[in-house]
Amino acid sequence: MKHLNAAIVIMALFAISTTASALPVTNVALNKQVTLDGRFFTPYTWGGSYPTRPTTSAAMQALADTVTDGKFKPDNWQWNNGTTWWDKHESSSAYVNIDLAGTFYLESFVVQADDNDAYLLEYWNLTSLGWATAWNVPNFGNHGWGLQTRPNDLNDSERYMLGTPITTTKLRLTGVGGDKYYATSEIQAFGYEIQEVPEPATLFLLGAGLVAGGVLRRKKD
């Protein structure tokens, strides 16, 4: 009975300690709130004018919402057609913000954006309480034209894996190089919510309870 109790305790603690690694990794940005900071535009055709719209308008918000709807545009899709886009010639700074509505452990990303530009995907650092680089999204100017998915424009499901996973509550994307006409149609972040993982103190208390239960049962036997 003594050895059986010890085995039960060890197995239980092992099961609890491996809970984090067993959590499924999903696109935690799916359908999360997107806000636009800066001057953004509605669709237009080349050679015409493009009217500005307040970022709080229903039409502009509908475009912003597509950034986290889980849907990719076809490869080479026209960059300013039904996408969230901005022009750094008109606005010196513009950000696409994603509120994850919780604290998440992130390990990989996928971004679909205009081909001949580079982008910066940042995360809110919970330690320094400031923005930090998550991924320098590369310029895909040699992969055709229009919208291209990074890291692999031929496979929307392939993810950019972080060297070191991050913990954050929000993300933001901005353009940092290229022709300064930027657009994004999809941003995905893969990981899981940290609140689902038992903390070390909780694991200790659960383990202690199991040990105590084993001791009491042995005395009773």
Secondary structure, 3-state, 55-74: CCCHHHHHHHHHHHCCCCCC
pTM: 0.77
- pLDDT of 117: 94
Do 214 and 144 meet the contact criterion of CB atoms below 8 Å apart? no
Q: Do 202 and 188 fall into the same domain?
A: no
- pLDDT of 145: 85
Hey, what are 141's tokens? 């100017």
Residue 153 maps to which CATH number? 2.60.120.260
Q: Do 72 and 35 fall into the same domain?
A: yes
Q: Do 108 and 15 fall into the same domain?
A: no
* pLDDT, tens only, 38-73: 888 876 545 445 555 445 588 788 899 999 999 999
**Distance between CA atoms of residues 107 and 90, nearest Å:** 34
The range of the structural domain enclosing residue 191 comes to 24-196
DSSP class of residue 104 equals E
Q: Do 10 and 51 fall into the same domain?
A: no
Domain count, the chain: 2
**Whole-Å CA distances, 49 to 28, 45, 170:** 37, 8, 34
- pLDDT of 93: 87
- pLDDT of 154: 92
Which residue numbers in the chain have pLDDT < 50?
Answer: 2, 4, 6-19, 45, 47-48, 53-54, 196-197, 199, 202-206, 210-212, 215-216
Q: Do 183 and 201 fall into the same domain?
A: no
- pLDDT of 197: 45
Q: Please choose, from the candidates 117, 130, 140, 141, the residue with its C-alpha nearest in 3D space to the C-alpha of residue 172.
A: 130
